[in-house]
Amino acid sequence: MVDFTLTDEQKALQEMAHDFATKEIRPVAWEYDKEGTWPAEVLKKAWEVGIMNSGIPEQYGGPGASHFEGILIEEELGWGCSGIGTSIACNGLAAMPITIGGSEETKKKYLGMLTEEPLFASFCLTEPDAGSDVSGMRTTAVRKGDKYVLNGSKCFITNGAYASFYTVYAKTDKDAGHRGISAFVVPRDDTVTVDKKEDKMGQRASNTATITFNETEVPAANLLAQENAGFKLAMTTLDRTRPGVAAIAVGIARAALEFAIEYSKERVQFGVPIAMHQAIQFIIADMATDVEAARLLTWQSASLLDQGRSNTLASSHAKRFAADAAMKAATDAVQVYGGYGYIKEYPVEKLMRDAKLMQIYEGTAQIQRLVIARETLMPSRAQAPSAK
Ligand code: COS
């Protein structure tokens, strides 16, 4: 039997995350958006209540939440503010390659660091000339004795300016395309520079930086999985984290729907609240269906992971559909608000700016469609790389 009912524990977790989003995120979200303020205080509180690093296994000091529990939290964070939600969820992305490919010692050290105090880590894959085309990266890691030396720049790095360590992808064999990439844990030191903080259209509370590694040395033990297995490690990581991105998008779409419902009941035109007009009802009906459908795809993509099954296709379905649903819902919420929707004094223009990023980061809407097309036409037998 398929049952979409949450257990009492899952409901309690969802309520806790909703309560956090209501009390700690919503009251500051629009102000932080305006100023582009990194939400240090909110992040500290999120760490304290255990909704940051929720997926880190218990043996490394984390709450050990399942993937499904993780997305229940992330939908609420996205509902509160996707910029702040992205900042909270960022450690999960950086930690995932360590969880999958780190040695026991590496996991203890670096996953442990994140759970011992409110520290931040960033996932460094994208480069100025290597976005969707991961294998076009130019950052190099050269083995010298018992060390690797890294050189190169990574851009659009979430929490980059505040991270204590980075999970970095670099070429260990320049001529081997995707088979010449390796992944490393790189602690921040003086050779790591923060070159640029981006001034973004939306999700302005999240920090997005360019990070450069200048002759940065790491012990060979910081290699994740095997040498030249980094591309697959990145893909396996993204399969596991895209359900969380989809959940944040569901949260944005739900917020847009709620604002649109509320406003349509207050705003009177032609002598009745605009919610009485079929033109508005149909917009709201489509938003509501999209929220439900996006959530079900998201739940499925996370549940497959918890069952130990491949979710490459499901996570791309979820990420693509939920991101597009968030963009459409936010745009339609602006439409329901009419002229007021376009004004910063009202809440929905922020949602429209925020939603746009959901169609771009962790794999654009087009990359998701590419994965869906490939997986549908030629189902994959791709294997995740193992730990060292
Ligand atoms: N899990 C495990 N292995 C995978 C995989 C997955 N989900 N997807 C691909 N692979 C493997 C393939 O099986 C292939 O293995 P072999 O070397 O054994 O042949 C290898 O990886 C290369 O795969 P592919 O040929 O599909 O690579 P492409 O260069 O065509 O890239 C896309 C595939 C475009 C899907 C990938 O580069 C991608 O996801 N890009 C977007 C990156 C992204 O999301 N960036 C956002 C920044 S992170 S915030």
Residues 370 and 237 reside in one and the same domain: yes
Q: CATH no. for residue 78?
A: 1.10.540.10
In terms of Cα–Cα distance, which of 74, 24, 78 is closest to 46?
24
CB contact at 8 A, 88 and 70: no
Cα separation of 263 and 351, whole Å? 15
pLDDT band at 176 (very low <50, low <70, confident <90, very high): very high
pLDDT band at 379 (very low <50, low <70, confident <90, very high): confident
Q: Evaluate if residue 296 carries a pLDDT over 80.
A: yes
- 382 assigned to some structural domain: no
Q: Domain boundary residue among 92, 116, 140?
A: 116
Q: Evaluate if residue 383 carries a pLDDT over 90.
A: no
- 384 assigned to some structural domain: no
Cα separation of 185 and 192, whole Å? 13
- 295 assigned to some structural domain: yes
Cβ-Cβ contacts under 8 Å for 250 (sequence gap 6 or more): 75, 78, 291, 294, 295, 298, 322, 325, 326
SS3 for 175?
A: coil
In terms of Cα–Cα distance, which of 133, 195, 194, 187 is closest to 165?
187
SS3 for 217?
A: strand
156 lines ligand 1 (CB under 6 A): no
126 lines ligand 1 (CB under 6 A): yes
Q: Domain range for residue 269?
A: 231-377
- 386 assigned to some structural domain: no
Strand partners, 212: 153, 193
Burial (Cβ within 10 Å: 0-12, 13-18, ≥19) of residue 43: buried
CA nearest ligand 1 atom 28, residue:
133
pTM of the model: 0.97
CA nearest ligand 1 atom 48, residue:
362
Cα separation of 320 and 77, whole Å? 19
Model confidence pLDDT, tens digit, residues 45-74: 999 999 999 999 999 999 999 999 999 999
Model confidence pLDDT, tens digit, residues 189-235: 999 999 999 999 999 999 999 999 999 999 999 999 999 999 999 99
Residues 254 and 335 reside in one and the same domain: yes
178 lines ligand 1 (CB under 6 A): yes
SS3 for 152?
A: strand
Catalytic pick among 24, 127, 349, 362: 362
- 134 assigned to some structural domain: yes
User: Ligand 1, closest atom to CA 134?
Assistant: 37
Residues 360 and 265 reside in one and the same domain: yes
Cα separation of 120 and 322, whole Å? 27
pLDDT of residue 268: 98
pLDDT of residue 382: 60
Residues 137 and 65 reside in one and the same domain: no
Distances (CA, A) of 156 to 73, 127, 134, 159: 24, 8, 14, 9
User: Ligand 1, closest atom to CA 384?
Assistant: 2
Residues 163 and 98 reside in one and the same domain: no
Q: Domain boundary residue among 181, 209, 228?
A: 228
- 331 assigned to some structural domain: yes
| Mean pLDDT computed over 177-186 | 98
Q: What is the DSSP string of 252-282?
A: HHHHHHHHHHHHHHH-EETTEEGGGSHHHHH
Cα separation of 42 and 33, whole Å? 14
User: Ligand 1, closest atom to CA 383?
Assistant: 2
SS3 for 343?
A: coil
Report the domain count for the chain. 3
Cβ-Cβ contacts under 8 Å for 387 (sequence gap 6 or more): 100, 101, 102, 103, 225
Q: Domain boundary residue among 116, 141, 167?
A: 116
Q: Give the angle subtended at the CA of 66 by the CAs of 61 and 69, to the nearest 5°.
A: 110
Model confidence pLDDT, tens digit, residues 319-352: 999 999 999 999 999 999 999 999 999 999 999 9
CA nearest ligand 1 atom 41, residue:
132
User: Ligand 1, closest atom to CA 177?
Assistant: 29
Average pLDDT score, the chain: 97
What is the Å distance from ligand 1's center to 100 Cα?
A: 16
pLDDT of residue 1: 73
What is the Å distance from ligand 1's center to 199 Cα?
A: 29
pLDDT band at 384 (very low <50, low <70, confident <90, very high): low
312 lines ligand 1 (CB under 6 A): yes
| Mean pLDDT computed over 138-162 | 98
What is the Å distance from ligand 1's center to 235 Cα?
A: 5
- 24 belongs to the catalytic site: no
Q: What is the DSSP string of 371-388?
A: HHHHHHHS-----PPPP-
| Percent of the chain whose pLDDT exceeds 90 | 96
367 lines ligand 1 (CB under 6 A): yes
pLDDT band at 139 (very low <50, low <70, confident <90, very high): very high
pLDDT of residue 26: 98
